[in-house]
Amino acid sequence: MSHSLLSVRKLSTWFESGRGRLHAVDEISFDIARGETFALLGESGSGKSLTALSIMRLLPATAGVSGEVWLEGQDLLALPERDMRSVRGGRIAMIFQEPMTSLNAVLPVGVQISEALRCHHGITARAAQTRAIELLDAVGIAEPQRRYHDFPHQLSGGMKQRVMIAIALAGEPELLIADEPTTALDVTIQAQILELLRKLQKDTGMALLLITHDLGVVSEMAARVAVMYAGQMVEQASRTDLFAEPRHPYTQKLFESVPTLGKRGTRLAVIQGRVPPLTQVFTGCRFAPRCEFAWQTCHERTPELLTVRSHTAVRCHLHDARYQASAPAQPTRPEPLAEQTTATAVGEELLTVSDLKVYFPIEQGIFKRVVGYVRAVDGVSLSICAGRTLALVGESGSGKTTVGKSILQLLRPTAGSVRFSGTELTQLRGAKLRARRADFQIIFQDPYSSLNPRMIVADIIEEGMVAQGVGKSAQERTARIAQVLEQVGLSAETGQRYPHEFSGGQRQRISIARALAVRPKLLVCDEPTSALDVSVQAQTLNLLKELQRELGIAYLFITHNIAVVEYLADEVAVMHQGKIVEQGSAAEVLRNAQHPYTKTLLQAVPKIAG
C-alpha cells in the first residue's frame, strides 16, 4: 500500500522483568490509508494497546522498541523527542477508554481544549476560545458556550469522551488512535460516540486506528481488521472477509464464543487454557496449546503471517501449502459437541418483589436539612421462579444494582415488599435475617475486589460457610469446599492458593464457588461477566447455565449486555430511571419491544455482520 498515511513495519516492544524479557508486541506490520478505519482486535494481554502506545512513543523508559513507524515518509521511531511532541496531539491524536483519567479535574473543559489549540496553532486566547466552542459544538455538546466553563465532574461519561475527542481534534489530526473509546460507556452513548467518530471522519478525512475487543464495534466501524494474539498479529483481512470467513482457529473461536439469541440452549464455544506468559521462549505456534487443530508441526515450527488472498493474511500452518499435506482433516482435540442444555422446569415462585422503593435523601446546609429525594428505585415489581433467570437490563444509573442490593437487604428499601419463599424479608432483622442469607447470594462484576487478597481460597469459601452455619465440622466443610471448587471447574488443590494467583475468569469461578458453598436458592449476578474477555465470558456463562440445570438455582441477572440476555434469560425486565418500563419473556421483549426506551436500547447494540 504505497499511499499509506501510516506504515508500521516489524514493530516490537519488550520489557525486562524479573522473569526475563517480556515480548509484549512482536513484529507487527500494517498500513492505514487516509480516511480509513483500521481495527486492532484482541483480548486483554494481546498487545493491541501497547502497539498504539509504541506508535505514539508513550512507553515507560524501561521499554525497548524496534522496527519502523512511518508517517508519510517520516520515521517516528527515529524522530528526536522534541519533534515527536508536535506529532503527538498534532498529526496523530489519541483518545482512551476512561476519559476522566485523561482530563484535568481542576480546569474547565473549554480551557483544556483552548490550551490544546494554542499549543498546536499558536493562536490568541480569544481565538482559541471561539474555536474551542466550535469544537464543543462539532462533537455534539449542546449549549457549548455554557459548557465551556464546566469542570469534568459536571459532565456525564459520554460528554467527557466528547470533550476528549474535541481536544484530539484541536490539532487537526490526520490519524486518531481510539483505544477502547466506548468500553466504559452505556450502549446508547456508545452508539452516539461511534456515530460522531464516523461523521468527523467524513468531514475531516482523518484516519482511525480503532483498538477494541468488541466484535460488534469492529463490525460497525472498520474497513480492515487485524486480530492479535499473545503479542502477534494472527490474521489481517477486510472486515467483510473476516466476518464472512474467519480463517485463524483463534479468530474462529472468538466468533463462536459470542453469546447470541441463536445459541440459546447450547453451550458456547470456549478456548481452553490461558494466553501463554510472554516471557516464554516460543517454539512453534503460540496458540498451539489451546488449538483444536494443533498437530506436531505446530509445536515445532513457528507459523509465518502468510498472504492467502489479496489483503488477507493468516498466521497458521493450516493455510501454508508446505504443511497442508500433513495437517489433520478434523480437529485433533475437538471440543465436546455443543450439547442442547435442556431448559430447567419452571419451579414455584421463589421471589416476589412488589412496589419496591429506594429513596436517598438530598441534604443541604450545615444542618443537613433534607430538601428532596433521589428516587433510585421507584415502584419496582418483579418475580422469579425457582430454576429460572430474570435479566434486569438497563444503563448505568437506571437503578438495577440498587434493586439487587435491596432485594438482598444489603440496602434497606424505603417502601415495598420483598417476599422470598413465603418470608417477608423487609421485616427480618439481625439473627433472623442472617439465618436466611444462605438462601440468596450475590456475585459481583469485579471478583478481585470481593475476594480478600490475604486469605487463601479455601478460607475465603469457608468464612461464608461458618457465618451461615453450613457444615457441622471442619472436615465436612473441607469436603464441601472441594466439592464446590470441582463444580466450578477448579481442582480442590486450588483452595490452597491466593486470589492473585488466578486469572480474572478463574477468580469469578471462585466467587461463584463461594456463593454455591452455602447452597443458595437465588443468586443475584451483578454484571458478572462485564470485566471478562469474550472467551472467558463464554466459560462463565456455560458454568452458570450448567449449575442452574443441575441445582435448580434461580438467577437475577443484572446486566447492560443485551447479547448475554439473549443467550441466557428466560424473562427480561428493562429499567430506566428507577422504574421498570417493560417486562416479559425474553423472546417477547427482545423480538417485539413495545416501549420506546427498550427499542432505543436494542437499536443501539452494535450488530455483528460482515
Q: Which member of 158, 303, 464, 471 binds ligand SF4 (CB under 6 A)?
A: 303
Q: Does 118 bind ligand SF4 (CB under 6 A)?
A: no
Kindly write out the interface string for residues 193-232 of this chain, putting x where it contacts ligand SF4 by CB under 6 A and - elsewhere.
Answer: ----------------------------------------
Return the number of other C-beta atoms located less than 10 Å from residue 294's C-beta.
21
Q: Does 247 bind ligand SF4 (CB under 6 A)?
A: no
Rounded CA separation 383/349 (Å):
7
Q: Which member of 30, 293, 420, 502 binds ligand SF4 (CB under 6 A)?
A: 293
Q: Transcribe 268-324 into DSSP letters.
A: PP---S-PPPTTSPP-S-TTGGG-TT--HHHHHSPPP-EEEETTEEE--GGG-TTTG
Rounded CA separation 176/95 (Å):
8
Rounded CA separation 360/539 (Å):
38
Rounded CA separation 311/558 (Å):
42
Q: Which member of 42, 249, 404, 578 binds ligand SF4 (CB under 6 A)?
A: 249
Q: Does 269 bind ligand SF4 (CB under 6 A)?
A: no
Q: Does 287 bind ligand SF4 (CB under 6 A)?
A: yes
Q: Which member of 95, 288, 384, 605 binds ligand SF4 (CB under 6 A)?
A: 288
Q: Does 233 bind ligand SF4 (CB under 6 A)?
A: no
Q: Is the dihedral of CA 275, 97, 541, 215 positive or negative?
A: negative
How far is residue 499 CA from its own chain's centroid?
A: 21
Q: Transcribe 356-423 into DSSP letters.
A: EEEEEEEEETTTTEEEEEEEEEEEEEEEEETT-EEEEE--TTSSHHHHHHHHTTSS--SEEEEEETTE
Rounded CA separation 168/88 (Å):
10
Nearer CB in complex with ligand SF4: 328/610: 328
- Considering only the stretches 65-73, 136-144, 285-293, 389-397, report the one whose residues sit in contact with ligand SF4 under the rule CB under 6 A: 285-293
Amino acid at position 381, single letter: S
Kindly write out the interface string for residues 358-387 of this chain, putting x where it contacts ligand SF4 by CB under 6 A and - elsewhere.
Answer: ------------------------------
CB of 316 to ligand SF4, least distance (A): 3
Q: Which member of 213, 317, 477, 560 binds ligand SF4 (CB under 6 A)?
A: 317
Q: Which member of 318, 358, 390, 443 binds ligand SF4 (CB under 6 A)?
A: 318
Rounded CA separation 38/223 (Å):
6
Q: Which member of 113, 291, 523, 544 binds ligand SF4 (CB under 6 A)?
A: 291
Q: Which member of 316, 356, 382, 522 binds ligand SF4 (CB under 6 A)?
A: 316
Q: Which member of 233, 285, 305, 488 binds ligand SF4 (CB under 6 A)?
A: 285
Taking the C-alpha atoms of 400, 403, 404 and 407 in order, what is their torsion angle to the nearest 10 degrees? -170
The footprint of ligand SF4 on residues 394-433 (CB under 6 A) is none
Interface residues with ligand SF4 (CB under 6 A)? Answer: 249, 285, 287-288, 291, 293-294, 298, 303, 316-318
